[in-house]
Amino acid sequence: MPDRRETVVFQWLAAGDRGDLDAFDDLLHPGATIHAPAGLSTHSAEAEKQVWREALSAMPDLRHDVQEVVVDGDVEMARVIVTGTIRAPFGGVARSGRSFRIDQAVITHLRNGKIVEAWEIADMAAVRQQVGDTD
């Protein structure tokens, strides 16, 4: 079992948190599909970079703390704690200036060492509740 920091899923989330979106070129297949909640799904690496730009603009302190990674062949699954502060509207959540902390599951399928498809499972209702956006 590889060290979790050596996995593609860990490197993808860490690069995103750092704002190193150029690193996505080495981690995501150009036509990667990322299934995400709140209307944030993407169908290319470039579109995924744009979602991260918007996320980091709205939540400059966004962090994905990877707790555990399970690898099975070309599948990597991560259990993640996501934290941030909503400073601008994002993913249907209104700006509140309040922080959140949620659990997330990320499942990735790799081809030639790059993510070709991923599923992000996160409780957006918990985010809304924590930041006071209950509309």
Residue 133 has pLDDT above 80, yes or no: no
State the sign of the Cα–Cα–Cα–Cα dihedral 82, 35, 51, 77: positive
- Domain of 80 in residue numbering reads as 4-131
Closest CA to 9 of 84, 64, 77, 88: 77
Cβ atoms 130, 100 nearer than 8 A: yes
Residue 96 has pLDDT above 70, yes or no: yes
What does the pLDDT average to over 83-87? Answer: 96
**Whole-structure pTM value:** 0.94
Indicate the pairing of strand 75-85 with strand 99-111. Answer: antiparallel
Give residue-wise pLDDT tens across range 9-32.
999 999 999 999 999 999 999 999
CATH number at residue 125: 3.10.450.50
Domains held by the chain: number: 1
Give residue-wise pLDDT tens across range 36-59.
999 999 999 999 999 999 999 999
